[in-house]
Amino acid sequence: MSLYEDVISDASIAMMRRVLCNECARRRIKTDSIQGEDLARVIMHAFLAGMTEECELAVLARNLVD
């Protein structure tokens, strides 16, 4: 069974959205821009790989090179 087949809870989606919105605001980019969408993919991929804590995802997002 793939991780993609599992259901992601509303709380987890809301948490990932917070991480994305906070990092996009810090970088002064829109969440629906190419950079914002790339960042969203990285956050989702990390979450699906097991990085499920908000603080871990926030640190990962902050440490990514623009």
What is the tens place of the pLDDT at every residue in 3-55?
555 688 999 999 999 999 999 999 999 999 999 999 999 999 999 999 999 99
Domain ranges within the chain, ordered by starting residue: 9-63
pTM (two decimals): 0.87
Could you tell me if 54 and 23 are in contact, meaning their C-beta atoms sit under 8 angstroms apart? no
CA–CA distance, 66 with 40 (Å, rounded to integer) = 13
Could you tell me if 29 and 40 are in contact, meaning their C-beta atoms sit under 8 angstroms apart? no
Region of residue 50 (phi > 0: left; psi between -120 and 50: alpha; otherwise: beta): left
CA–CA distance, 23 with 39 (Å, rounded to integer) = 9
